[in-house]
Structure 1
Amino acid sequence: MSLFEFTFALSAVILGLALTHIAATIHKLLLLGKQVKWAIEPVLLAAIVILLIVSVWLGAWGDREQAEVTVGQTLLQVAKLLTLYFAAASCLPEPVVAEPIDLRSYYDSTRLLSFGSLVLSLLLFRIYSIAIDGIPSVLTIGMAVNMILYPVLYVSMIFVRRRWFNILTLGFIIVYYGWQVAGQQLIS
């Protein structure tokens, strides 16, 4: 077993549990039928989290040549992936059979946890990248946009409660981030 296989197993478990949580929650909500008052915002947020998890999972392939790993690196890796798990766990409500569920109200009440987890995740991913690769010698426009755009959008959705703003922003993130990662290729 290679070092990559050994360390990636833990990452795969965390990310797999996050995806499973979203899938199981959607399944339970669908089973509740008319007890659920649907809203687009938490569904879009779940789509963003799924997109992030899949891109992070595939992006880990870049670490396959790593020759050494420290406990500190592994703890930072776990922390950054757990923030994605928290985002996954908070984007949709855990259904209780006897109670009706209003997804719009749920989204509104959990926006700090959901988007706070995503902002913290971005911060931890940046810290991890700097710890492993050092500070980039050249800062491209794309790098600057990614370092500023997503945190600003996530933080704005914590505080701006206008429904149209949240829907447009969530939709923009799906399209823009999806466009950024859709063409990424894994090469062996």
Structure 2
Amino acid sequence: MREDEAARLVLAGPQVFVTSRAERELAVSHWLLAAAQDMKEARKEWAVAGIALLRCGGIFSAIRVPAEVVHAAAGTEELHQVNAYLSTALMGGPVFVDVASRRYYVLVPASAAHQDVWKSRLVPEAECLGSGCFLGVPSPNATAPSDARSYWCVPMDSPGELCVPQAVTQLVMTGRYQRAAAEREAGE
């Protein structure tokens, strides 16, 4: 390489590629659809109902947590604050909420369902949905409470980016502790 070519490379700096939110959502959609029994049908479900039935235990498992536990851990029921808390507590891992059932679903690696803590149900009030379970998962572009019955409160940022199961355990235990403390205080 000639000296003037090397100087141009140094001045130009490294190339930076920017991926738009729409491109990431498309990549996440394709990844999630790998868990569908019929990808075409799942796409149609997302388009029509906003929710597609996906199989747990293959590319992901999901930990179901009652809203009361999540809200107690967050110290609030205000959705934007709960969402911010979840993003921090779960290190940006994906979470969606079913507003009607008042349950949060945290996506974790499929192997989580095989961990003793989840197989033995050692974390009260939370359940890991693995092989043999199907879950109504919102479209990746449903990211606001007004979008649908179910929406991503912490959207999946890229394909395969999942939560650490131990962080979910900590979240649940914190929520249970905070709720018990509030009940004890209210009873005094």
What TM-score, normalized by structure 2, do the two folds share? 0.24
* Structure in which a larger fraction of residues adopt helix: 1
* Structure in which a larger fraction of residues adopt strand: 2
Structure with the greater alpha carbon radius of gyration: 2
